[in-house]
Amino acid sequence: MLKFAIRRTLYMFPILFGIALVTFLLFNVAGGDPAAQAAGKYATAEKIQEMRESLGIAGPLHEQFFGHLKQMATFDFGRSWSTKQTIRSMIFSGIGASVSLMVPVYVISLILAISLALLVAFLRGTFFDGATLVVSLALMSISSLVYILAGQYFVGYELGLFPINGWDSSLIARWQYLVLPTLIFVVLSLGSNVLFYRTVFLDQMYQDYVRTARSKGLADRVILFKHVLRNAMIPIITVVVTQLPFMILGSLLLESFFGIPGLGRMIVDAIQSSDFPVIKAMTTITAILVLVFQLVADLLYAVVDPRVQVR
């Protein structure tokens, strides 16, 4: 396991180099002159040259690329064009709000989806199974904007149960602003998650080991919760772990509509203001997180399923 982890970690370096090259070409070459965009539409040549020097892109492309690699290695992506703050400080200030929102969303969605999918698989072919399929498909067919606007209007405005917009830096007081977006996100993601986990469980229930267990007289409830759930952990881990990077980065729409100062809202603001340093930094960080959690998923495969050979 240790050798596999080291080898997979070493494999990440050429991939990270490729990510750095692609992001550099997108933002520094294909996207035009960053200095001219940062200086403004009517900037003079002297102003653009000054901006190049302040941004550290006055040299040739290969020197700029090595500077980009240094930024990735030191987690120092410079300053935002719009706020003039260091991007590192912006990330550290926004990650707390994103985690406060997405951790309860992640845990509640996972527990509800797996529990409901197990129940549906246990009651397969019944009215409850069919009704769950119809409701899940309906939930998937509705736009996320509809959930957000409907939740804000009916639950927040008409009933007045929760604030529609706002934030509090206190760990205790902020939860009143998180309940409504958490409920909306859980409902929004429930349909697709239930259908996926139901398919995974039903696929396992038609395997040979399930027929063998039934022939030994084990009840369906025991087979489902003790054997099927354990053997279905590979696809579950794949979905659960690969969703973690995006959970850490927050939800773009929810944070924007509810005024939550997290990383998702920071990305939206950067896109609206063409703040390329922030967009480039978040693109790079997202790619790195995906690679790291993919490594975690590969290691967990061998932990939960001894049939998986780590090579």
pLDDT at 182 over 80: yes
As beta bridge partners, residue 11 has none
- Per-residue pLDDT tens digits for 90-148: 888 888 888 888 888 889 999 999 989 888 888 888 888 889 999 999 888 888 888 88
pLDDT at 237 over 60: yes
Q: Give the whole-angstrom CA distance, residue 271 versus residue 89.
A: 18
Confidence of residue 73 (pLDDT cuts 50, 70, 90): confident
The whole-number pLDDT of residue 108 equals 92
User: Do 236 and 73 contact (CB within 8 A), yes or no?
Assistant: no
The whole-number pLDDT of residue 10 equals 85
Lowest mean pLDDT among 190-194, 220-224, 258-262: 220-224
With tokens 């063409």, the residue in question is 274
Q: How far is CA 157 from the centre of its chain?
A: 29
Q: Give the whole-angstrom CA distance, residue 114 versus residue 127.
A: 19
Domains and CATH numbers, the chain: 2-74 (no CATH), 93-304 (1.10.3720.10)
Q: What is the mean pLDDT of residues 189-206?
A: 87
User: Do 46 and 295 contact (CB within 8 A), yes or no?
Assistant: no
- Per-residue pLDDT tens digits for 288-303: 888 888 888 888 877 7
Q: Give the whole-angstrom CA distance, residue 112 versus residue 197.
A: 11
- Per-residue pLDDT tens digits for 27-54: 766 656 666 666 666 667 777 677 766 6
Q: What is the mean pLDDT of residues 71-99?
A: 85
pLDDT at 311 over 60: no
As beta bridge partners, residue 79 has 86
